Amino acid sequence: MRLLAKVFFALTIIWAATISAVAADKKALLGGRLIDGFGHRPLANSVILIDGDTITAVGTVGSLTVPNGYEIISTEGMDVLPGLWESHAHLMLTGHSDYAHWDKAYVNRLADEIMPASAVQLLLAGVTSTRDLGAPLADTVAVKTAIESGSIPGPRLFASGPFLQAEVPPGTEKFRWAVTTIAEAHARVNQLADAGMEIVKLIDQDKMTLEVAQAIVTQAHARGMKVVAHSHRPGEIRRGLEIGVDNFEHTGLTTAPAYPADIVEKLRERAATGRIAGGPLFWTPTVEGLWNYPLTVDNPEKLDNNCWHRGLKADTIADIKASIQKPGEMTYSSLVPLRRPTLKKKIKQLRKAGAVFLVGTDSGIPMKFHCQSTWNEMAAWVDTFDIPVMDTIRGATFWPAAMMGVGDKLGTVSAGKYADIIAVKGDVLRYINLLQNVDMVMKGGTLYKENGQPVEESLVAK
């Protein structure tokens, strides 16, 4: 009898532990106003049921009952949104002003320190999905694998690995690959695809022969990859449209006052083809850093925010700090004051031509820290460039997921999608800069930030 009692007691403990684990896996977000990413009227007093990593139901208080056994997380007084996308990040960079120094000093610290630090900073800023555009392939694979396995915290990573371009500056060969022949185009794209990259980042495509540039895009599409391309020069845009890239990056043309008329017409033609050409014409303008540069020079206090220190070693932090002591004297930004007056015109041209904007920031470049960049860009869109707030939110949620072909699992808060959700106290539709203080961050049903504070047990590297 004693043996049977012990067995029964042990089974009871196991059963109770199992029930507790199951219950902890079921969560209900209760009470907040839901801005679900689809672009329609927000849903007041929302209820979001989550089982494991997936949203199972969305409704309202009074119409959707929370079943027994669910952990209730209050979102009262908060706006609830899909987790944000950062569509142009550089995890291998963290705001240092001297690329030549950085590339040499930190090339062996990317996978162990720099990229994991960038990833966790993005996640705590409410970014649950990121396109990482440019880094050594081995380091990218290591970090991507670690995030996917849960070994380190970070956003869902959609990555390009090294840039593909016509010529490579000495010292950058680990993250820039020269492609000069059709055979090299096929080989390099296949190498990236075989390593698990979802994106090809193409730059200087106008310096390649048409045949080589076309071979990159054709092979990338054959392997199910997306192609993003620089748009700094008129030739890059013309060639990119000719070969069928999926997404242009930046608001380039340096100090030119506007896009040439022939490019605007070509953009309109491409936008008009829509699904026939593989989807909308996507554009990631990365505009905030350019616009706000003189404001940063006048008031560099935001650079002292220690949010960008997380995950970095003391000597790294000191090195970055030393490099940005004189924001107005950086060679990197010498043309920015001349580019700034052209930006509003270019943004209007692109929107009028039918481009669909994605929120991306060049996060990681000098003075652009991962913990600040995404909300900075969104605020600039709304407050400076007169982009409607709902369009801005969709540019950071719905459209990036659609562009990457993962809209069935990401980009909106709806049943069947991953539970990648953020919440912020206040009215985001009136005050978009509230996103600088995201109160709750959930990715795949796991809370990484709650009540404005990191959930440290979820952030421990395993």
d(CA 139, CA 148): 14
- Over residues 41-57, the pLDDT tens digits come to 999 999 999 999 999 99
Please state the pTM of the whole predicted model.
Answer: 0.93
Tell me if domain 25-82+413-456 and domain 84-403 are identical in fold. Answer: no
Residue 23 reports pLDDT greater than 60: no
Res 277: pLDDT: 60
- Over residues 187-231, the pLDDT tens digits come to 999 999 999 999 999 999 999 999 999 999 999 999 999 999 999
Tokens (6 digits) for 452: 């404005």
Residue 461: other Cβ atoms inside 10 A: 11
Residue ranges per domain, the chain? 25-82+413-456, 84-403
CA distances from 63 to 46, 53, 266 (A): 9, 23, 49
Q: Region 437-456: what's the mean pLDDT?
A: 97
| Angle (CA) 283 361 144, round 5° | 95
Residue 10 reports pLDDT greater than 70: no
Q: Region 418-423: what's the mean pLDDT?
A: 98
Residue owning tokens 């008009």? 272
Res 264: pLDDT: 95
Q: Region 401-423: what's the mean pLDDT?
A: 98
Tokens (6 digits) for 133: 């555009």
Looking at domain 84-403, its CATH architecture is Alpha-Beta Barrel (3.20)
**Residues 6+ away with beta carbon under 8 Å from 159:** 131, 132, 133, 135, 140, 144, 197, 198, 199
d(CA 388, CA 421): 22
Portion of the chain with pLDDT greater than 70, in percent: 94
The CATH homologous superfamily of the domain defined by 25-82+413-456:
Urease, subunit C, domain 1 (2.30.40.10)
**Residues 6+ away with beta carbon under 8 Å from 205:** 165, 166, 213, 216, 229, 230, 236, 239, 240, 243, 245
Name which of 103-117, 318-332, 370-384 the model is least confident about. 318-332
Residue 14's pLDDT band (boundaries 50, 70, 90)?
Answer: very low
Q: Region 417-437: what's the mean pLDDT?
A: 98
CA distances from 25 to 19, 74, 237 (A): 10, 16, 48
- Give the SS3 label for residue 24: helix
Q: Region 348-353: what's the mean pLDDT?
A: 96
Tokens (6 digits) for 291: 């616009």
